[in-house]
Amino acid sequence: DAGITQSPRHKVTETGTPVTLRCHQTENHRYMYWYRQDPGHGLRLIHYSYGVKDTDKGEVSDGYSVSRSKTEDFLLTLESATSSQTSVYFCAISMGQRETQYFGPGTRLLVL
């Protein structure tokens, strides 16, 4: 299994508070991704990174920001959480842009 961890695994927060989710890899893969999974929508890409300090938006990036200061870490920040951001968040990594993606175990976020 690819070495990918996500923290925290579960979080409950209140509307309007900032939240940061962390993805850590030990595989030295160049590409890292953040997805959210919601019933009826499958997986939707929030942001991705193609190298240290190189990031770009996905299809549902509003309300989210990311940072990648080291190869192994990719942070997802909700600047001011809203109830619509209640979801399960998955991090993924890949060696190349068309290569297999390896997923972390997910973070379940509840915004009250």
Partner 1 sequence: GDSVTQMEGPVTLSEEAFLTINCTYTATGYPSLFWYVQYPGEGLQLLLKATKADDKGSNKGFEATYRKETTSFHLEKGSVQVSDSAVYFCALSGEGYQKVTFGTGTKLQVIP
Binding footprint of partner 1 on the chain (CB under 8 A): 4, 31, 33, 40-43, 45, 48, 50, 56, 58, 90, 92, 97-106
Nearer to partner 1 (CB atom), residue 63 or residue 106: 106
Nearer to partner 1 (CB atom), residue 42 or residue 53: 42
At which residue do the structure tokens 């080291």 appear? 70
Q: In what order do the strands lie in the sheet with 19-25?
A: 4-7, 19-25, 73-78, 64-70
What is the token pair recorded at 23?
Answer: 């993805």
Nearer to partner 1 (CB atom), residue 38 or residue 79: 38
Q: How far apart are the C-alpha atoms of 15 and 59, rounded to whole Å?
A: 23
